[in-house]
A and B are shown apart, each in its own frame.
Chain A
Amino acid sequence: MTRFTNSLTNGLTRRGLLRSGAGFAGAGLIGAPALVSSANAQSKFDWKQFKGEKIDVLLVKNPRADLIQGAEKAFTELTGITVSSEQVPEQQQRQKAMIEFSSGRPSFDVSFISLHVQKRLAYKGKWLEDLKPYIADATLTSPDFDFADFNKAGLAFATQSDGSIQTIPQFVDYWMVYYNKELFAQKGLAYPKSMDELMKTAAALTDPSKQIYGFVSRGLKNANIPVWTSWLLGQDQQTVSPDGKLLTDTPEAIWAAEFYRKLNKEYAPPGTIGFNWNECQTTFMQGRAAMWLDGIGFATPLEDKTKSRVAGKVGYGITPPGPKAHHSATFADGIGISRGSSKAKKGAAWLYIQYMTSKKEQLKLIKSGAGSPARQSPFADPTVNEGSIFPKDYFECLLGSGKIGEPGLPAIIPVTEFRDVFGVALTNMLSGADPATELKKATEAFKPVLDKSEL
């Protein structure tokens, strides 16, 4: 333990930095391969070095947390570290993390972080350890950890503005289009090749007399933002510029809002104004919607024949290209080590993170249908679709989306308020308000909030 503490606070951290030669603070991702080679230099790795330690882990309640908890017994056998983990529903987990991290002495040593929501907050609040020194330390990082294996989208989320890496990405959610192959075949239609084509396809598939609609997506405020940003990414634009300026009332943003409104008003079932992902999922599973834009993490129930009328008929399409660019809105969860934890537990926590984001565990993640892994290697594994409930195009969609992934939400502290303010504007549009006016109003309302957040 003493050796570990010293390695972090004295020689090894500095040596690791010098050895990588990348200049961590500015180099960010570029420095990562150098770190990996440094880490791999150690041929034998001691998983038992923190034997006898006990760590507390805060998880978000979802199928991925079930997998993690399922792997904890094997982790304890390998390392001799005892784990006490707790699953908390998403909203409450974020609140718990925020309150406990802000207190300076959280009750957990490892926490999951929704990077698309709390990345900036975690950075400003100094919640988490910078993991770069850990990755660089060959005595702490297993040679087969292979940091370079993590994909671009996941690492972009995990990397903070100063180049520090405060979490290891575990799950990356890509927004894509689920489509009902049977309904497409009945009309002789193919999966759309552009956003404009998607609109025309939705129109062709809509038949209210049969209660069949061409498209469905979230309308509920807050939840509806990624739908809008998905279309906005087709204009090659984010909602906030890299220098922190709002781009939410530009012609491109208005185009995306009009696109959102037309699809949800004219080709979606009545009532989508109050739909979150679960209502959309139910509608799609009952065969009432031909296309559904949402995160690929919701795929599993669609292929469950006991629950879904469309099982075996679902197509998985990459979000079509927009007028200027082809991107998939991306979201990610990462795992980090609490800065407030005792130093003695940080090493054990790092072993836990390594184990739970290892190639083996990430392959289990994709094979179980619990979500999309943040590593690339599971996709290349020959056994990836063996015994899978998903067809080939599911894996192709994941791989293809990974190549064009862009954050679906801005990396700002008040991201929840952003979602709320612009979410209300989008909802108002579905009730008949003018998109340009609503976006202008929302931008004016949110600007002072954003300005104040960075003070």
Chain B
Amino acid sequence: MTGMPATSLGTGKALAATPPAGHYDFSRKYWLFVLPAVVIILAVIVFPWLFTFFMATQEWQVTGATSFVGLANFYTLFQDTRFLESIGHTFYFTILGVALPVFFGTLAALVFHREFPFRGLLRTIFVMPMMATPVAVSLVWTMMFHPQLGVLNYLLSLVGIPPQAWTYDPATAIPTLVLVEVWFWTPLVMLIVLGGLAGLPKEPYESALIDGASDWQMFRHITLPLLWPFIMIALVIRTIDALKVFDTIVVITQGGPGTASETLNYFLYLQAFQFYKIGYASAVVVIFFVIIVALSLLLLYARQKSKWDA
């Protein structure tokens, strides 16, 4: 535009900006703009993490003296059967609490993607659970699960099914909590997948129709592969959320019966805010962090692999 070749302008600027070897050009004013972000990241992300690691190496009791114990808290954790059980419960809950909403959410998205009467109204009703307050809704579910007076057993009795113990039995506590999770979070998955469906290209379907492909074949070989990146986003969000589950558990079962539904996050809450074992709880946080990061990396890797251009 200016008549000067782009390449020569670029080269000239690059030369001017290159400091002599071994020296930094502190005159660059843009550092000032970066600094606030660096300070905030150090203060609200890096420092808390470093301090958590520090606390995990301390015997830190409220009202008691604090002392350095090295990795003893981690050693004790791995001897603590309740902690190990809570990891198992967390994975059990997460697998069911991710797989079922993703399955039903995808199914619902495929249904709501089609044209039919009152589609908009029904779709609005379908997403309503997601807008509810988890604690309030959990209280309602608690009443519904009551073995003698709950509405769920009454409904079962109408069709001749014997009453169930729901969250009042160690064997069914987690699956029942997952039921609440499915009710709550299936709409979120549906919205994500529905967004994906709206953006799918039409050409592959036209080609498939010309080639005589059936509905199932089009779904299996076109829709599903193209939708996969969106399903992966739903999986990542749901996995992180399910791993961190707390509100429904604290309201409905408080980790019980016994410790049957005690997940890692609830175990952590007990140690920190009920038993006031700050050092021990910090060690749980570190382990929890490692698990979340590992799973997130795994899922992000899977997401990369599932991209359309991969």
A binding-site residues for B, Cβ under 8 Å: 95, 98, 102, 121, 124-125, 211, 219-222, 269-275, 279, 282-283, 286, 288, 413-414, 416-417, 420, 424, 427-428, 430-431, 452-453, 455
Across the interface, do B259 and A424 meet the contact criterion of CB distance under 8 Å? yes
Across the interface, do A221 and B64 meet the contact criterion of CB distance under 8 Å? no
Q: Which residues of A contact B64 (CB under 8 A)?
A: 452-453, 455
Given contacts A221-B256, A431-B257, contact A271 B276 (CB under 8 A): no
Q: Which residues of B contact A288 (CB under 8 A)?
A: 148-149
CA distance A125 to B64 in the complex (A): 9
Across the interface, do A221 and B165 meet the contact criterion of CB distance under 8 Å? no
Across the interface, do B169 and A221 meet the contact criterion of CB distance under 8 Å? no
B binding-site residues for A, Cβ under 8 Å: 61-65, 146-149, 163, 165-170, 173, 253-259, 270, 273-276
Interchain CB contact (< 8 A) of A453 among B61, B166, B274: B61
Interchain CB contact (< 8 A) of B254 among A98, A220, A271: A220
CA distance A211 to B157 in the complex (A): 14
CA distance A417 to B61 in the complex (A): 13
Q: Which residues of B contact A121 (CB under 8 A)?
A: 62-63
Across the interface, do B62 and A102 meet the contact criterion of CB distance under 8 Å? yes
Across the interface, do B146 and A279 meet the contact criterion of CB distance under 8 Å? yes
What's the least CB distance linking A439 to chain B, in Å?
14
What's the least CB distance linking A455 to chain B, in Å?
6
Chain A-chain B contacts (Cβ-Cβ < 8 Å), number? 85
Interchain CB contact (< 8 A) of A274 among B63, B257, B259: B257
Q: Which residues of A contact B148 (CB under 8 A)?
A: 211, 269-271, 283, 286, 288
What's the least CB distance linking A273 to chain B, in Å?
4
Interchain CB contact (< 8 A) of B63 among A102, A270, A416, A417: A102
Across the interface, do B147 and A271 meet the contact criterion of CB distance under 8 Å? yes
With A273-B258, A420-B274 already in contact, 4 other A-B pairs whose C-beta atoms are closer than 8 Å = A121-B63, A125-B63, A271-B165, A288-B149
What's the least CB distance linking A216 to chain B, in Å?
10
Across the interface, do B253 and A274 meet the contact criterion of CB distance under 8 Å? yes
Q: Which residues of B contact A413 (CB under 8 A)?
A: 63
Chain B interface SS verdict (over half): loop
Q: Which residues of B contact A286 (CB under 8 A)?
A: 148-149
CA distance A132 to B255 in the complex (A): 42
Given contacts A121-B63, A413-B63, A420-B275, contact A270 B147 (CB under 8 A): yes
Q: Which residues of A contact B163 (CB under 8 A)?
A: 270
Q: Which residues of A contact B273 (CB under 8 A)?
A: 95
Given contacts A211-B148, A273-B169, A282-B149, contact A417 B275 (CB under 8 A): yes
Across the interface, do A420 and B270 meet the contact criterion of CB distance under 8 Å? yes
Given contacts A98-B62, A288-B148, contact A427 B257 (CB under 8 A): yes
Given contacts A283-B148, A416-B275, contact A270 B258 (CB under 8 A): no
Q: Which residues of A contact B274 (CB under 8 A)?
A: 416-417, 420
Across the interface, do B62 and A431 meet the contact criterion of CB distance under 8 Å? no
CA distance A219 to B167 in the complex (A): 13
Across the interface, do A271 and B275 meet the contact criterion of CB distance under 8 Å? no
Across the interface, do B275 and A274 meet the contact criterion of CB distance under 8 Å? no
What's the least CB distance linking B279 to chain A, in Å?
12
Q: Which residues of A contact B65 (CB under 8 A)?
A: 455
Q: Which residues of A contact B255 (CB under 8 A)?
A: 221
CA distance A165 to B270 in the complex (A): 30
Across the interface, do A271 and B258 meet the contact criterion of CB distance under 8 Å? no
CA distance A413 to B65 in the complex (A): 14
Q: Which residues of A contact B149 (CB under 8 A)?
A: 282-283, 286, 288
What's the least CB distance linking B64 to chain A, in Å?
6
Query: Which partner residue on chain B sits nearest A92 by CB separation?
Result: B273
Name 7 A/B residue pairs within 8 A (Cβ), A-sorted. Answer: A221-B257, A269-B148, A270-B163, A270-B165, A271-B168, A417-B274, A431-B257
